[in-house]
Amino acid sequence: IVIVDEFHHAAAATYERLLQYARPRVLLGLTATPERADGESVLGWFDGRVASESRLWNALDESLLCPFQYFGVGGAPDLRGVRWSRGRYDTTALSNVYTADHLFATRVLQETRAKVRDITTMRALGFCVDIKHAMFMTERFNEAGVKARHLSGRSSSAERDEAVHLLAAGELQIVFTVDLFNEGVDLPAVDTLLFLRPTESATIFLQQLGRGLRRAPGKECCTVLDFIGHANRRFRFDARYRAIIGGTRRQIERTVEDGFPSLPSGCFIHLDREAQIVVLENVRAALRAGRSALIDDVKALAARDDEPPTLRAFLNATELDLEDLYTKTWCWTSVLRKAGLETSAPDPGDAAVERALSRMLHVDDDRLERFEQFLSRSRAPAGDASDPYQRLLFILTGHMRDPYDKLGDTWRHLWSRAPLHRELLELIAILRDRRRRVPSPLDAPPLANVPLRVHGTYSRDEVFAAFDERSSKNGVKRTQGGIFNVERYKTELLFVELDKRDKDYTPSTLYNDYPVTPTQFHWESQASCHAKTAAGRRYLNATPGSDQHVLLFVRQRRRDARGQVNPYLLLGLCDLLDHRGARPMQVDWRLRVPMPSWFFQETKVAGG
């Protein structure tokens, strides 16, 4: 058995040699930041899967970490004129701005006194640009009667140990540091954090935030002061908030506008008016820049490395998500082409695939391995409509309206288009790495060969392709209703959307559907249904041990922040628990597998 802490370093050559030498039968890797800035993945040691994960929000919800109160304070120095190179500010220029601004240093002291309960008893870390900046802040605080020291990579072990000891003992109020306490140091006594410089890396921001979130006796919360000013247009404020609460840029914009309404118990995020304006301007500018910013970023990376970046390297270097890149008309190949880094001429047949890639981002089950094996073949395989994974990949690459007779032609075209073929393989590898749960097979014998997994996510077209339900033109069947009976499997498919404010709903289709508990779901049938109709009898017969099955697919709302149609989460097989009424029938289903806790929390709010 080998246990490795800070496992995000395991992609380094030294770790690689050690693990290859040890060849452990059981390997446990622990890390708070699995995403590496260099794009290397450590999941290869674990068959591409995370065994157990608790993100920051989960850890706060479960009281594993200390809650925090975060204050975004406006009025920091204006950095729009500071030189920006290779994804970050020039350190010397940045330090000169901060160390020349005595008024800002005074503002930091004033805000700290105002926000911290008692500045004389706080145990704080202040994150600075460089040694010069750390020394400057140390002098200002000491002059004000606040006991302070500075530490950096140049400090001796004895100096570090002494400062940490004095801080924990309360004989020191603050340590100003430079790239020293980002990771690997346990400082549970720290109850205050001052972000005195813009942190370009969301990963480092999260590591620094984590220095104050360790629990300790008598520690109620961590106070965070983040000093915010106008930034270079390439700096991304949304990255730090996404590191904390997740979401896309568009979702972060709404969250900042609304004042961060949904936070774990005990946590608090407040941006003063000036900070909120700066952050919103920055986020909205990034949203407006969109494609041009992506093109600039990929050009800059290519110039730095003398070769075009891979998709993974690009995402890691820019700290973007797939959802930031992929849209209905935009994919990685099109970005490279617009940047002049992909010289092959586009083919008319590429358009459908390029448009479809943004609809693949939800795939999170073992189809990814099947697709990877299929696409890794040296030659285009023959089309085989009896293969469910070929049908599913056909749908996911934009051929929902085409007959399965075109499978072979589709694969031959894809194999002839090296950039798109390569992008698909890159995309699938990234989707595998970000998969955070292991969906389980359906446990009813007739459904064992249907390639759907409990807690996997699927579009309607994918569900019908999985069941091999076909149209009159030998393509996938496409329907709009919320109920479909797959006769040969004796399985009722229920598609539920909880937020029914969409214009597509009428008073007669505003069914009252909602989760009751993680294992119970309340559902309303179609308006004409009662216990003696064929559908009603099927519902009543869906009991444990019977051969009548019901599969429940649920999504919160129709579209996501990008305007894309949301997939459904398969909650799995369910059995009749109770029913009452008619036209519509009120049915309570018992789920055989509890729904994910995160989904229950979200959907119970949406369902009222």
The rounded distance, in Å, linking the Cα atoms of 522 and 514 is 5
pLDDT, tens digit (0-9, with 9 covering 90-100), for 254-271: 899 999 987 888 899 999
DSSP state of 589: E
pLDDT for 398 equals 92
Question: Mean pLDDT, to the nearest integer, of 497-524?
Answer: 77
3-state secondary structure labels for all residues of 442-487: CCCHHHCCCCCEECCEECHHHHHHHCCCECCCCCECCCCCCEEEEH
pLDDT, tens digit (0-9, with 9 covering 90-100), for 416-443: 999 999 999 999 999 998 887 778 899 8
pLDDT for 315 equals 87
pLDDT for 126 equals 97
Pairing of strands 124-127, 84-85: unpaired
pLDDT at 39 over 80: no
Question: Mean pLDDT, to the nearest integer, of 37-57?
Answer: 70
**Which of 484, 458, 492, 485 minimizes the C-alpha distance to 388?**
458
pLDDT at 509 over 60: no
Question: Does 278 map to a domain?
Answer: no
Average pLDDT, the chain: 89
One domain for residues 32 and 160: no
pLDDT for 518 equals 93
Question: Mean pLDDT, to the nearest integer, of 553-580?
Answer: 90
- Asked whether 469 and 488 are in contact (CB, 8 A), the reply is no
Q: For residue 422, what are the contacts with CB-CB under 8 A and spacing of at least 6?
A: none
Pairing of strands 2-4, 174-177: unpaired
pLDDT, tens digit (0-9, with 9 covering 90-100), for 168-197: 999 999 999 998 775 556 789 999 999 999
One domain for residues 165 and 246: yes
Predicted confidence band at 36 (pLDDT cuts at 50, 70, 90)? low
Give the end of a domain, one of 233, 249, 272: 272
- Asked whether 227 and 108 are in contact (CB, 8 A), the reply is yes
pLDDT for 246 equals 77
Question: Does 283 map to a domain?
Answer: no
The more confident residue out of 503 and 364 is 364
The rounded distance, in Å, linking the Cα atoms of 237 and 245 is 13
One domain for residues 184 and 164: yes
CATH number for the domain spanning 188: value is: 3.40.50.300
Predicted confidence band at 524 (pLDDT cuts at 50, 70, 90)? very high
**What are the helix (H) ranges across 268-349?**
273-305, 311-318, 322-325, 332-338
Question: Mean pLDDT, to the nearest integer, of 586-604?
Answer: 87
pLDDT for 504 equals 57
**Which of 533, 599, 546, 600 minimizes the C-alpha distance to 575?**
546
pLDDT at 75 over 80: yes
% of the chain beyond a pLDDT of 70: 95
% of the chain beyond a pLDDT of 90: 60
One domain for residues 342 and 468: no
Give the end of a domain, one of 431, 452, 470: 431
Question: Does 560 map to a domain?
Answer: yes
One domain for residues 86 and 113: yes
Predicted confidence band at 35 (pLDDT cuts at 50, 70, 90)? low
pLDDT, tens digit (0-9, with 9 covering 90-100), for 452-504: 999 999 999 999 999 999 999 999 999 888 899 999 999 999 999 988 765 55
The more confident residue out of 500 and 145 is 145
Range of the domain at 385: 326-431
One domain for residues 111 and 253: yes
Question: Does 13 map to a domain?
Answer: yes
pLDDT at 34 over 70: no
Max avg pLDDT among 106-115, 445-454, 518-527? 106-115
List phi, psi (to 5°) of 179.
Answer: 50, 40
Predicted confidence band at 407 (pLDDT cuts at 50, 70, 90)? very high
The more confident residue out of 506 and 99 is 99
Question: Does 284 map to a domain?
Answer: no
One domain for residues 218 and 187: yes
pLDDT for 185 equals 66
Question: Mean pLDDT, to the nearest integer, of 395-404?
Answer: 94
One domain for residues 40 and 115: no
Question: Does 289 map to a domain?
Answer: no
One domain for residues 203 and 263: yes
Pairing of strands 68-74, 222-228: parallel
Helix 388-396 vs helix 407-416: crossing angle, to nearest 10: 60
One domain for residues 427 and 336: yes
Give the end of a domain, one of 403, 431, 459: 431
The residue to which tokens 């490795």 are assigned: 4
Number of compact structural domains in the chain: 4
Question: Does 296 map to a domain?
Answer: no
pLDDT for 203 equals 80
Least trusted range by pLDDT, from 108-117, 337-346, 554-563: 554-563
Predicted confidence band at 344 (pLDDT cuts at 50, 70, 90)? confident
One domain for residues 419 and 498: no
pLDDT at 221 over 90: yes
pLDDT at 387 over 80: yes
Question: Does 285 map to a domain?
Answer: no
One domain for residues 84 and 225: yes
pLDDT at 38 over 60: no
In the three-class reduction of DSSP (H, G, I as helix; E, B as strand; rest coil), residue 408 is classed as: helix
The reply to whether the predicted model has a pTM over 0.85 is no
